[in-house]
Amino acid sequence: MSLTSKKIIKRRTVDLSLARFQTSLPPVLERIYLARGIVDDELLQMRLDRLHKPETFKGLNDAIELLVEAFYQQQRVLIIGDFDADGATSCALSVLSLQAMGLQTVDYLVPNRFDYGYGLTPEIVAVAAGRKPDILITVDNGISSIEGVAAAQARGMKVIVTDHHLPGEELPSADAIVNPNQEACSFPSKNLAGVGVIFYVMTSLRTALRERGWFRDNNIPEPNMANYLDLVAVGTVADVVPLDFNNRVLVHQGLQRIRAGKARLGILALLDVAGRRYQNLVATDLGFVVGPRLNASGRLDDISLGIQCLLCESADLAREMALELDDLNRDRKAIESGMQQEALKSLNELHLDESTEMPWGLCLYDAHWHQGVIGILASRIKDRLHRPVIAFANADNGEIKGSARSIEGLHIRDALAEVAARAPGLLSKFGGHAMAAGLSIERSNLDRFQQVFDEVVRQKITEADLQAQVLSDGDLDEDELSLTLAQALRDAGPWGQHFPEPLFDGEFFVQQQRLVGEKHLKLVVSCSEQGQIIFDAIAFNVDLSLWPNQSVRKVRLAYRLDINEFRGRTNLQLIVEYLEAV
């Protein structure tokens, strides 16, 4: 039985009459921009002066006043981070910028997810107290840390929460909260990652210190905040937040710095160990190369190694740490692969047929699964079956922790809130975004949770939502399948969440097919049966129960154009997102 959801390829529709571009663009690129809501050159000008101004950030002035006082009194500041790439980059940016502005005592602390859980908990406050901080600054967390903030304030610490996660009904009693998603915050971009939020805070702090003469009076060079945009780009892309215009500016500017070799040594080292040339970097490299290696340390051990790599000032030491992170990422891949096989085996054993329907909201649990990898597992199964998935692993005291991933049409955090409302006490805690969330429940309540979760999902989406779709930008003629167009599309980014990289579809004749790397399908395809002009194509992580299939002579592909570089030569390669026999 194949547990791979069949997809419908749907082509985007565009109204070419809306185009108002002054710049001469390839017709294909003009069509792509129109499909993403860009009708003129205005939203293609990704300069830093186009960023939204910080004045509309609720709570920002309170945070700045506290931090300015911290500088003049040289108070001790402790950053409380999170254990993913967004948290790591947020933490590194905070430490580096505060030090550059002249704060003498600044340190960071990241909860070990296996010992302390997520965010600013009372337990992590007790650990923080040993460093005697005057101010705690949370980055990429804190908006749900009601007990932790209270515990810190009870110990005499001031707390500044900087976060981007959706708040609950109650906010912590922090001395300042900066979060674009809190009620009555009129900052236009609600899609900032945690690193984007702290970038705005630090940039505003620099402005406030400049206006007070701090840099002049103390003979401190005023830092150029653009120097930290490489960190902002990594955290923003790795956290898969929507690339609205503001985020696209941040990522574009960060990519420009990395391509110029002006990135943190740790980022350059991570790219190098992965075999990526920083000169040709694209946004997806941040999401699939840098981000996973930073995340690996937080998933399997402690994110501190990733933060140290980002803070490192020695190229040799940065490379050592990058190699260690690369090894951790290989371990993570092996663990995740094994867990995925176990999950698929369990689903197969359900003997699903026409009379036994798979739940719409799927819950998976195994006592041996690694708590740090369940998020990736949920994402993989969600992609494969196209339905909301929560993967659970054992925690402490009879609890299990779940990581949820959703599909378009279902806001997963809102769905969990509905479960909590219907069955009070069923969830110990939960939080997250529209597409991803985390939760904890008692192990004994798993069956009940599965039932209520499936009921909620069935009420919030329709059966049509469970039909996976591939949105295509149309087909390409044989002469459009070129390095020239591939380079134009690469330069037209950054592409990412809610501003998707161009995807095309078409039928091709298969000239060759074989497995590489045990689970990737390497293809040679052509537009005509004779195959006078051939193209390389590769489909990653194919369903091995379906491919390779030597009887298939023609396929329909949904693919991206890529430039493959090997031994000094470049050639066009199709990156296959979906394939089916014709």
Name residue 528's beta-bridge partners.
none
The distance from CA 126 to its chain's CA centroid, rounded to whole angstroms, is 30
The alpha-carbon radius of gyration of the chain (Å, integer) is 24
DSSP 50: G
Domain contains 44? no
Domain contains 474? yes
pLDDT at position 23 is 87
CB environment 203-224: b (16+ within 10 A), e (fewer): bbbbebbeeeebbeeeeeeebe
Domain contains 375? yes
CATH number at residue 447: 3.10.310.30
Domain contains 335? no
Region of 571 on the Ramachandran plot (φ > 0 left; ψ -120 to 50 alpha; else beta)? beta
Q: At 575, phi and psi to the nearest 5?
A: -95, 110
Whether the bond into 494 is cis, omega within 30 of 0: yes
Q: 379 with 488, same domain?
A: no
The CA–CA distances, whole Å, from 476 to 319, 394, 488, 559 equal 42, 49, 14, 11
Domain contains 182? yes
Domain contains 120? yes
**Residue among 556, 554, 544 at smallest CA distance from 514:** 544
pLDDT at position 14 is 95
Q: 400 with 482, same domain?
A: no
What are 576's two structure tokens? 């296959």
Calculate helix-pair angle for 412-422, 446-460, nearest 10 degrees: 120
Encode the chain (582 residues) as per-residue pLDDT tens digits.
456 778 999 999 999 999 999 988 999 999 999 999 999 999 999 999 999 999 999 999 999 999 999 999 999 999 999 989 999 999 999 999 999 999 999 999 997 766 777 789 999 999 999 999 999 999 999 999 999 999 999 999 999 999 999 898 899 999 999 999 999 999 999 999 999 999 999 999 999 999 999 999 999 999 999 999 999 999 999 998 999 999 999 999 999 999 999 999 999 999 999 999 999 999 999 999 999 999 998 888 778 999 999 999 999 999 999 999 999 999 999 999 999 989 988 887 764 444 467 899 999 999 999 998 999 999 999 998 999 999 999 998 899 999 999 999 999 999 999 999 999 999 998 988 888 899 999 999 999 999 999 999 999 999 999 999 999 999 999 999 999 999 999 999 999 999 999 999 999 999 999 999 889 999 999 999 998 899 999 999 999 989 999 999 999 999 999 999 877 789 999 999 999 999
Which of 466, 498, 519 is at the close of a domain? 466
Domain contains 19? no
Give the three-state DSSP class for 338.
helix
What are 412's two structure tokens? 């997963």
Do the Cβ atoms of 103 and 202 come closer than 8 Å?
no
Q: 186 with 251, same domain?
A: yes
**Residue among 390, 420, 436 at smallest CA distance from 428:** 420
Which of 266, 291, 326 is at the close of a domain? 326
pLDDT at position 369 is 95
Q: How far apart are CA 555 and CA 8, in angstroms?
A: 14
Length of the chain: 582
The number of distinct structural domains making up the chain is 3
Q: 415 with 433, same domain?
A: yes
Helix (H) or strand (E) holding 77, with range, is: strand 77-80
Please tell me the pTM assigned to this model.
0.91
Q: How far apart are CA 255 and CA 263, in angstroms?
A: 9
Do the Cβ atoms of 419 and 453 come closer than 8 Å?
yes
Sign of the Cα torsion 228, 234, 239, 241 reads positive
- E strand intervals along 276-324: none
Which of 422, 438, 466 is at the close of a domain? 466
Q: 315 with 450, same domain?
A: no
Q: How far apart are CA 459 and CA 581, in angstroms?
A: 35
Q: 474 with 444, same domain?
A: no
Q: 444 with 513, same domain?
A: no
Q: How many CA atoms lie within 13 A of 459 on its CB side?
A: 12
Helix, strand, coil in percent for the chain, rounding step 5: 45, 20, 35
Q: 435 with 494, same domain?
A: no
Range of the domain at 297: 56-326
The CA–CA distances, whole Å, from 473 to 32, 558, 577, 582 equal 7, 10, 13, 20
Residue 346's CB is within 10 A of a number of other CB atoms, namely: 12
Q: 309 with 360, same domain?
A: no
Instruction: For Cα atoms 339, 343, 345, give the angle at the middle one, nearest 5 degrees.
Output: 115
Q: How far apart are CA 271 and CA 285, in angstroms?
A: 8
Q: How far apart are CA 346 and CA 340, in angstroms?
A: 10
CATH number at residue 486: 2.40.50.460
Domain contains 477? yes
Sign of the Cα torsion 459, 462, 468, 472 reads negative
Q: 257 with 361, same domain?
A: no
CATH number at residue 149: 3.90.1640.30
What are 331's two structure tokens? 């371990």
pLDDT at position 350 is 61
Residue 169's CB is within 10 A of a number of other CB atoms, namely: 5
DSSP 360: S
Instruction: For Cα atoms 510, 514, 519, give the angle at the middle one, nearest 5 degrees.
Output: 125
What are 307's two structure tokens? 């933060």
Q: How far apart are CA 31 and CA 38, in angstroms?
A: 10
Q: 443 with 482, same domain?
A: no
Do the Cβ atoms of 184 and 191 come closer than 8 Å?
no
DSSP 218: T
Q: How far apart are CA 467 and CA 312, in angstroms?
A: 46
562: which residues sit within 8 A by CB, 6+ positions away? 486, 572, 573, 574, 575
Q: 369 with 232, same domain?
A: no
**Residue among 517, 560, 524, 558 at smallest CA distance from 540:** 517
